[in-house]
Structure 1
Amino acid sequence: MVLLVRMTEKLTTAALCQLELIAEHEVDAAVDAYMADPLAPTFVFREGYRLNLAKAVRRHPGADDVVSRGKVGPALVRPFVRAAILQARPDRG
């Protein structure tokens, strides 16, 4: 299957995973980085894609809501952070 994408269009992390430009273990590492430090610096994926994890979580309505509650355990927060990262659009370079 051939996927044609405009060069100016930024793909989601999930789409980059499907294209094998970002590996699942890298997404796991990004989630781990956010869970360890919500203010962590920009996360850099293997192929040079960069993602501000805090911004990705803030822009995701569900993740932002769960994280903002404060008294929610990591088992509930983690899937929302993962969803936010997968739906975010990393920059290249």
Structure 2
Amino acid sequence: MTETLTTAALCGLNLISDDEVDAAVNAFLTNAMGPTFVFKEGYRLNLAKAVRRHPGADDFVNRREVGTQLKRPFVRAAIMQARPTRD
């Protein structure tokens, strides 16, 4: 079932676009505790949870001395490895 696939796998199937992943990254960096992110095909992802579950991203994103541009690839990796759900 596609519900258990990672965001990266869903991108490979063209169910989620790179632009949507970029939008999710921007949403997290703007408001880490924001609402669940909804991709166009109806897949949903709790961005804060995705980052918390990714060891490297969770550690790096919480460093105050690190700027947004350095956090971006870690947040993207967390989102790409997460498993969005679909209603």
TM-score tier by shorter-chain length is: over 0.9
Question: Relative to 1, partners in 2 of residues 1:41 and 1:60: Cα closer, same or farther, differing over 3 Å?
Answer: same
Name the one with the larger helix percent: 2
Higher RCO (CA < 8 A, seq sep 6+): 2
**Measured at CA, do residues 14 and 8 of structure 1 come closer, stay the same or move farther in structure 2, by a change above 3 Å?**
closer
Contact 2:16 2:41 in 1 (8 A): yes
Cα deviation for residue 9 of structure 1 reads 6.1
> How many aligned residue pairs are there?
87
Q: Which has the larger radius of gyration?
A: 1
4+ runs deviating over 3 angstroms: none
How far apart are the structure 1 equivalents of 2:18 and 2:81? 14
Structure 1 stretches lacking a partner, 5+ long = 1-6
RMSD value, Cα:
1.2
Percent identical = 71
TM-score using structure 2 length: 0.95
Contact persistence 2:3–2:84 (CA under 8 A)? no
